[in-house]
Structure 1
Amino acid sequence: MISISSQTLIELVTGFLWPLTRILGVLAIAPPFGNSTIPMRIKLMLGVSVAMVVSPMLPKMPEVDPVSLSGMVITAQQLVIGLAMGFVMRVVFAGIEMAGEIAGMTMGLGFATFFDPQTHGRSSAIAQFLVLTSTLLFVVADGHLAIITAIVESFQKIPVTTDVRQGFAFYRLAVWGEQIFIAGVKLSLPIVAALLITNIALGILTRAAPQLNIFGIGFPITISVGFLVLTLLMPYLTTPIQQLIGSGLSHMSDGGNPRIANQPPPPPKP
């Protein structure tokens, strides 16, 4: 007769529960898994499948009863860490969406908005186009597999412990939020610069020929120039978007901390 002690049962439960909690936190918010169009049942099945494969390879979990106060604190900690890791990738796509918003408003397509199921809000047509293109590029480049790899690596850099002070660097996460504005401005800068030159040319033309109706000819011209520049720019957007996604994956797997290799060496001791 096979007998299983209570301690062994606790180790089996915690060895699966806490990795599953962190994995589900990432899948709940990280693109493309966090899209609201994906059924919750699919996310749960995917999280359970990944946890079943990953949990045997992880370090030993703390010997804490999962229903005790310390166990509940660890469970909440793992959920928060997973949500923070998923938020890192959400920031990347938010920056790309902001680039589309800036480009769309500059082109005069600020009124062309659609319902965004991802954020349950309104998003411009150009922003939706850039986000969908980036998502396709992300999937083609096996970014979804890289997210799972980053989750596995996070258990080595942020192990499951009873120390609540050890976890994701939330200060670095707040600083990482500036990438929304940095990426948005950088990706939309060529379109904004081209439309600025176009508006200057239209202003000079209106000054030279006041009888022209600037509102009648300016609007279609700016839209046409915007689409032309966007078409010419698309092949060159692949590299910065891939670099932005790679930076997000690196930030995600490092637990919000900068890479040790990029840190300056400590000063020599006197």
Structure 2
Amino acid sequence: MLLTLALGVWPTSQALAQAPIDAEAARLLVTLRQAHPGTQFTEAARTDIPGVYEVWMQGNVAYVAATTPRYFLFGRLFDTQDMRDLTAPRIAQRAGDVPVAPEDAAPPIAFDRLPLADAITVRRGNGQRQVAVFSDPGCGYCRQLEAELATLDDVTIHTFLVPFQGEARPVAIWCAADRTQAWQQWMLHGDARAQRPSAGCDHPVARNLALARALRVQGTPTLFWADGSRTDGYVDRSELQARLVRASTGPVAGSTTTERRP
């Protein structure tokens, strides 16, 4: 439902700034904070689409129907009539009203400096090809991506769990007796039996969130390749294979691709 709503007209930031205090938005914030105590919801702003709100979790944004706050739409909204990215200006505004050029939005990273001890690492075959994935267990496209990653050979996959949709499940997965098994069972089969929701172990979820912000990860899944380039959003097996081959040729000056993301 929310995907079709994204094709509608989105209000300007000025209109949002001038909007009166909204009781429904306040109620929505209370509901979300109660449902996801590990996530810091900072604002809910009414849109021109009845009942749909722009919800901010510090630097991350989602679009939520007030009547069904169980469902979040992550990613960028695009006005097909005016051919404009409607999400980018709001993100730029939150960053201090400084426009960010597309080529500067996601500079290459030093892959070998990633704190891989904070990731769930899976090695298949010779493991020579590497990719790091920022993923949220509540993210639908992340589950689709995980199914594609499971088909790859001769690859090492480092998965950083991020709590964009709440901290409880990422922590329960990390604290499992076998976190790799807990992650794969959940993402591939929706099976939570291996998770330990009350284990209370030392976990890197907060560090992963800070790392994601430092790397300008604004949604999941986001993939970082061994050459320092990145892909924002879901990609299928053929694209994964192509990017792994491309990344093996060496570092790049700058490369960013955008695909589907919830």
TM-score (norm 1): 0.22
Determine which structure has the larger strand proportion and give its number: 2
Higher CA-based Rg: 1
Larger relative contact order (C-alpha < 8 A, sep ≥ 6)?
1
TM-score (norm 2): 0.22
